[in-house]
Amino acid sequence: MHIAILMTNTDESEFSRTRPGDGEKFSTLIAEHREDWVCSVFSVKDYEFPNDIGEFDGFIITGSPASVHGEDPWIERLFELIRDIEVAKIPMFGACFGHQAIALALGGKVSRNPGGWVHGLAQVDTVGKYPFLSDTPETFGTYASHIEQVSQMPAGAEIIAAGPGCKIGGYVLDRHVFTTQYHPEMTDGFITDLVEEVADYVGKDVTETARESLKGSADRTFLGEQITCFFEWAVAD
Quick one: three-class SS letters along 45-112?
Answer: HHCCCCCCHHHCCEEEECCCCCCCCCCCHHHHHHHHHHHHHHHHCCCEEEECHHHHHHHHHCCCEEEE
Based on the residue annotation, tell me whether 96 is a catalytic residue of this protein. yes
Based on the residue annotation, tell me whether 39 is a catalytic residue of this protein. no
Identify the CA nearest to 29 among candidates 230, 235, 225: 225
> Count of domains in the chain?
1
Residue 209 has pLDDT above 90, yes or no: yes
Active-site position among 39, 96, 166, 229: 96
Q: Which domain holds residue 165?
A: 2-111+148-186+219-235
- pLDDT in the model for residue 95: 98
- Domain for residue 120, yes or no? no
- pLDDT in the model for residue 129: 83
Residue 223 has pLDDT above 70, yes or no: yes
Based on the residue annotation, tell me whether 12 is a catalytic residue of this protein. no
d(CA 171, CA 184): 15
- Domain for residue 212, yes or no? no
Torsion of CA 77, 167, 192, 195, to 10 degrees: 70
Do residues 120 and 143 touch, judged by C-beta distance below 8 A? yes
- Domain for residue 199, yes or no? no
- Domain for residue 200, yes or no? no
Mean pLDDT of 6-20: 95
- Domain for residue 143, yes or no? no
pLDDT, one tens digit per residue, over 37-96 is 999 999 999 999 999 999 999 999 999 999 999 999 999 999 999 999 999 999 999 999
Mean pLDDT of 207-226: 97
Residue 124 has pLDDT above 70, yes or no: yes
Residue 134 has pLDDT above 70, yes or no: yes
- Domain for residue 206, yes or no? no
Residue 128 has pLDDT above 90, yes or no: no
- Domain for residue 138, yes or no? no
Which residues contact residue 53 at a Cβ distance below 8 angstroms, ignoring those fewer than 6 apart?
A: 4, 59, 81, 84, 85, 88, 90
- Domain for residue 8, yes or no? yes
Residue 189 has pLDDT above 90, yes or no: yes
Which residues contact residue 66 at a Cβ distance below 8 angstroms, ignoring those fewer than 6 apart?
A: 8, 10, 45, 72, 75, 97
CATH number of the domain residue 58 falls in:
3.40.50.880
Residue 237 has pLDDT above 80, yes or no: no
Mean pLDDT of 155-172: 96
Which residues contact residue 18 at a Cβ distance below 8 angstroms, ignoring those fewer than 6 apart?
A: none
| Angle, helix 188-197 to helix 204-213, in steps of 10 degrees | 160
Of all residues in the chain, the percent with pLDDT exceeding 70 is 100
Residue 201, SS3?
helix
Residue 230 has pLDDT above 70, yes or no: yes
* Residue 110 pLDDT level (bands cut at 50, 70, 90): very high
- pLDDT in the model for residue 92: 98
| φ, ψ dihedrals at 6, nearest 5° | -95, 105
* Residue 176 pLDDT level (bands cut at 50, 70, 90): very high
Strand duo 2-6 + 58-61: pairing: parallel
Residue 155 has pLDDT above 90, yes or no: yes
Do residues 103 and 169 touch, judged by C-beta distance below 8 A? no
Active-site position among 86, 146, 166, 185: 185
- Residue 169 pairs in a beta bridge with none
Q: For the chain, give the mean pLDDT.
A: 96
Active-site position among 176, 183, 225, 229: 183
